[in-house]
Chains A and B, each alone.
Chain A
Amino acid sequence: MQKTAQHQPPAWAERFLEWYCAPELLEDLLGDLHELYGMRLRGKGVFYARTHFILDVFLFLKPYVFRRRSQLPRRNLNLFRHYLKTGFRNVNRDKQYLSINTLGLALGMASALVLIAYIYNELSFDRHFKNSDRIYRISCSTLIDHTYTEFAPIPPAIGLALKEELPEIESLARFQYLSSSASMKYKDNFFFQDGMFLADSTIFRVLSYEFLVGNEKALQGPDRIVLTHSLAVKIFGEDYLDQKDLLNAAIQIQGRDFAVAGVIKDPANNTHVQPVAFIGWHGYAEDNIWNDSHAYTYILLRKDADPVNVQDKMNMFTAENDNIRKVATDFGAEVKVFIQPLKDLHLYSSKMYELSSIGNVNYIYAFAVIALFFLFSSAINYTNLAIAASSHRYKEIGVRKVMGALRDQIQKQFITESALMTFFSALLGLFLFYLLIPRFNQLMDYQLDMSLLLNAKFPLIAISVIVLLSTFSGFYPAFYLSMVNPILVFKNNISTGGQKMRFRKTLLLAQFTISAIMIIAVLAVTQQMNFLRNKELGFNKENIIMISFPGGMMKHLPVLKEELSKLPGVSAVAACSYTPGPASPLDEHLVERANGEMKSTTIARIFFDKDYIKLLGLKFVEGRDFDPDSESDNKYAFLVNEAAVKAFGWDKTAQGAIGRVIDAMNYGKKGEVIGVVKDVNLFSLKHQVEPLIMNLSTHEAPLYVKMNGSNIMSIMSSVEKTYKKVMENTTMDYHFLDDRFDKIYDADRKMNAALMSGAQILIFISCLGLFGLSAFMVTQRTKEIGVRKVLGASIFEIMSLLSKDYIRLIVIANLIAIPLGYLFITMWLESYAYRVELQWWLMFTPLAATLLLSLASISYQVIKASRTNPVNVLKYE
């Protein structure tokens, strides 16, 4: 007997049997199995007994042993009506619970939906083009002196040659930018327009744009233009479609006449090509250029073509083509062309000169995680509250069971109730979704709109998210409550502690861990952003504006510069080719190395006039500044920065940097280095200072204007006045330099904004849940509190008694969250060359914040409970 008492048959097998076996058969069957187990244990040992016990349990999986389903009528509409009625009554009885629970769930749902909408939109980029799975872009790469650079456009001649060579290409279309700010004239309507493309007539065969007027043959023939709807409105006015001579109307662009050949719909916002107009390539743009990448080249492959095969053929072609080989030797480069699927361009392609700012895959991952956080957190809230709220309904369930309700009927009742509740939440959630969309667009500088809902797939996704969320959060309470044992209920013996409490606490713990991680992320990202903004760049970026020049107006530059520098409050004016941005303006150069050898390299280069160095306050380490009056300085002199000196190894030689030869083949200039400028970070702080070559030039835009004095606004207005006077009354387009620098970190700032709002919502949901939960906890313990007060407990003691559990929970949540959050943050900071030192107090902020917020949310209930007069709660005992 001793022996058998120690060894019990496997509990899970026993539970399994209990689950499937009909109750009337269970008792003796289980008894038999135990007896057999005991016999086998004595005879053949534990292992034999256990395996045979399990075997027997499975041998009994026979129909006659199974639990019979209830014999009552299955679909009882009356009963369902009854569930609905009691459901409504319950919901009505506790309005606070109703509002907290629906609001929490709805908010979680809405926020998650917004993020899902964003992810959906990002993933849908360019997929609406016909045959989008067969469209590829041809891009190219160069490898020069260990520097690998990829370009989105390719030389126009390569595209043509590939079309000749590869039969797999069904059609090919190239397009390139017309100069920025091209002048446009139609009758008396005159303006400057950006974003127009010169395009092959085949463009509409590759990229299927929808025509409002005309057809896809529109660009066949010389001097034709196809407008987008919005440009057509800008030229002809809203009712341009009624205009009789719309087709063939002559528009003057850069002084040349073009006939309108068609109007296409404006491109959708989820496409990476955003044309304003297409102008016929033929007769305008050069075809026979092999060495300059500026033609964006798209191909439509035949249905039977294998892209891998096509890529192989292209590799062979580039290796053998004489023209490409010549270019490669000229540059000392290895040149390759490769194809990229159209669908991948938005998210995965970040080459030089992309057509539009590319999407960020990291956003998609981050947002997917945050969306899950939202769903998880609101489901936890719902489950926790639903269980807590039903604690005063045990008696109801007990009575129902005694009256003969079956377990699945109780489940049905509670599932009906939670379906009712989640239905309200879903309605509210959709409304909140509608409200959140504009806020999201504003934060992220993004375009989501309700047209998503017209698309067949998104509503489907949204509905399945809602249904899944409702089922998950409604299922557990229903399942749990149906297990209530009526005998225990009536003996007043139902415990609120133990297993159930632990489950609820785990959920709460998870919720607060998530909140704390979000707080850490927000804090760290904010600190890094501030750090970047205040970081010394090595030059002064305050109070400098950059005035852009429309094409064709460059001739006014010297005059404008002259006039502006005369203005009071303007301390310097300079022209420079560079506007701060995430990508540096790279170009190929032949550079003399430390040992005197000339080798080609890809390096950033900028052009500026004589005042630029002074305007930014750059310092010289060695050599001298350009002499504007010297003919030779204009034609043959270069400045470099310290990083370039290091990169070429000049600092290790006696000769140093001065007098080193640089050959800039692409802009036909060969000369010597005359000075070295102290390193300043003109580009992104994500990288260390890059090597830079500087050239003297007078005709560059934008124009940098530095102002000093206290009243920037009045100086600005006089600058604008001067501009209008000189520039034939066009409006001044300008940016502040420090704004432009901030723009480089736009992506990160948007991320931060999104994180911040996400964290706020998550914490709000968590606190909402905590508020609701504390209400139920306090009601359950009113009598205990009453007795304690009678026995002399102070208000403070009671308060600490009630909050103790939560405080412990939150401290544990933070202990989990802090290392996790720290890990994420260090990973993220890796992407910056200059990063902020994480402060020690950063770790305690989430702790303090979550503690304070949660104490605040339970305080109302706790204070209310501690202040009640014990007489009121105890008088019925």
Chain B
Amino acid sequence: MKGTNLGEFEELVLLTVGILNNEAYSISIANEISRITKRKVSFAVVHSALNRLEEKGYVDSKLGGATTERGGRSKRMFTISRSGKKALLVAKEQRDELWSLIPKVVFKNI
């Protein structure tokens, strides 16, 4: 099967899906990431990241929310899946553990 590790950008996208709660679709996600990280995020990159996340089973999607501007076409709305939540928690735990292992002196001297 595909690798189930969570890349840095994928983690970012997954977290944003959570932030946006029920309003998460590729454009809103891309905008939100840009807003928070202050870096330019291309829509195409987000789209392919979402596609990867879905293949790994970390997000679920369903169609809905068509508007006139979209020519009546649906959005693909994303929600974090159960295994997505697990993967996020694992990533957080690992990171927390790593934080806790850094000796305090290290930061003092920088």
Mark the stretch among B3-11, B14-22, B43-51, B87-95 that contacts chain A: B43-51
Q: Counting CB contacts under 8 A, is A30 at the interface?
A: yes
- Once A27-B74, A62-B48 are accepted as A-B contacts, the answer to whether A32 and B69 lie under 8 Å apart by CB is no
With a cutoff of 8 Å between Cβ atoms, the chain B residues found around residue A1 in the complex are: 68-69
Q: A62 → chain B, closest Cβ, in Å? A: 6
Does B67 lie at the interface of the complex (its beta carbon under 8 Å from any beta carbon of A)?
Answer: yes
Q: How far is the CB of A791 from chain B (nearest CB, A)?
A: 43
When C-beta atoms are compared, the residue in chain B nearest to A55 turns out to be: B44
B73 touches A34 (CB 8 A): yes
**Nearest A residue to B73 by beta-carbon distance?**
A31
B16 CB, nearest partner CB in chain A, Å: 16
Which A residues between 38 and 67 are near B, CB-CB below 8 angstroms?
Answer: 38, 56, 59-60, 62, 64
Distance from A33 Cβ to chain B, minimum over Cβ atoms (Å): 8
- Bound-state CA distance A32–B42 (Å) is 13
Within 8 A of A (CB), among B46-91: 47-48, 51, 63, 66-71, 73-76
Query: In the complex, A35→B30 CA distance in Å?
Result: 13
A28 at interface by CB-CB < 8 Å:
yes
Task: State which of B25, B48, B51, B63 has its C-beta within 8 Å of the C-beta of A32.
Answer: B25
Which listed residue (B51, B63, B67, B76) contacts A35, Cβ 8 A?
B67
Contacts of A30 in B (CB 8 A): 71, 73
CA of A35 to CA of B67, assembled, Å: 9
Other-chain residue from B25, B47, B68, B69 in contact with A60 (beta carbon distance below 8 A): B47
Tell yes or no: A494 within 8 A of B by CB: no
**A178 on interface, CB distance cutoff 8 Å:** no
Is A35 a contact partner of B27 (Cβ separation < 8 A)? yes
Partner among B48, B51, B66 whose Cβ is within 8 Å of the Cβ of A31 = B66
Mark out the residues of chain A between 340 and 390 whose CB falls within 8 Å of any chain B CB in the assembled complex.
none
Report Cα–Cα, A423/B101, bound state, in Å.
79
Residues of A within 8 A of B27 (CB): 32, 35-36
What is the CB-to-nearest-CB distance from A827 to chain B, in angstroms, rounded to a whole number? 55
- Judge whether A29 is part of the interface by a CB distance below 8 angstroms: yes
Contacts of B67 in A (CB 8 A): 35
Q: When the two chains form the complex, which single residue of A28, A38, A59 contacts B63, counting CB atoms closer than 8 Å?
A: A28
* Closest chain A residue to B68, Cβ basis: A1
- Max chain A CB contacts within 10 Å: which of B48, B68, B71, B75? B71
The answer to whether A527 has its CB under 8 Å from any CB of chain B is no
Asked if B70 and A60 sit within 8 Å, CB to CB, the answer is no
CB distance from B69 to the nearest CB of A (A): 4
A62–B46 CA distance with the chains assembled, in angstroms: 13
Contacts of A4 in B (CB 8 A): 69
What's the nearest-Cβ distance from chain A to residue B47, in Å? 7
A619 CA / B63 CA spacing, docked (Å): 103
B39 to chain A, nearest CB (A): 17
**Alpha-carbon distance A27/B64, docked complex (angstroms):** 11
CB-nearest residue of chain B relative to A1? Answer: B68
How near does chain A come to B94, taking the closest CB pair, in angstroms? 28
A56 CA / B26 CA spacing, docked (Å): 14
Tell me the bound Cα distance from A27 to B48 in angstroms.
15
Q: Which residue of B lies closest to A59 (CB)?
A: B44
Cβ 8 A contact of A28, one of B43, B68, B69, B74: B74
Q: Which residues of A contact B71 (CB under 8 A)?
A: 30-31, 34
Point out which of B26, B27, B63, B69 has the most chain A C-beta atoms below 10 A from its C-beta. Answer: B69
Q: In the complex the two chains form, is B44's CB within 8 Å of A35's CB?
A: no
Give B61 Cβ to nearest chain A Cβ, in Å.
9
A29 to B63, CA, bound (A): 11
In the complex, the answer to whether B69 meets A35 with C-beta atoms within 8 Å is yes
Residues of A within 8 A of B66 (CB): 31
Chain B positions near chain A (C-beta within 8 angstroms): 25-27, 42-44, 47-48, 51, 63, 66-71, 73-76
- List A residues at the B interface (Cβ < 8 Å): 1, 4, 25, 27-32, 34-36, 38, 56, 59-60, 62, 64
21 residue pairs bridging A and B, Cβ less than 8 Å apart: A28-B25, A28-B73, A28-B76, A29-B47, A30-B71, A31-B74, A31-B75, A32-B25, A32-B26, A32-B27, A32-B70, A34-B70, A34-B71, A35-B67, A35-B69, A35-B70, A36-B43, A60-B47, A62-B44, A62-B48, A64-B51
A27-B73, A29-B47, A59-B44 known; 7 new pairs, CB 8 Å cut-off, are A28-B26, A32-B70, A34-B69, A34-B71, A35-B67, A62-B48, A64-B48
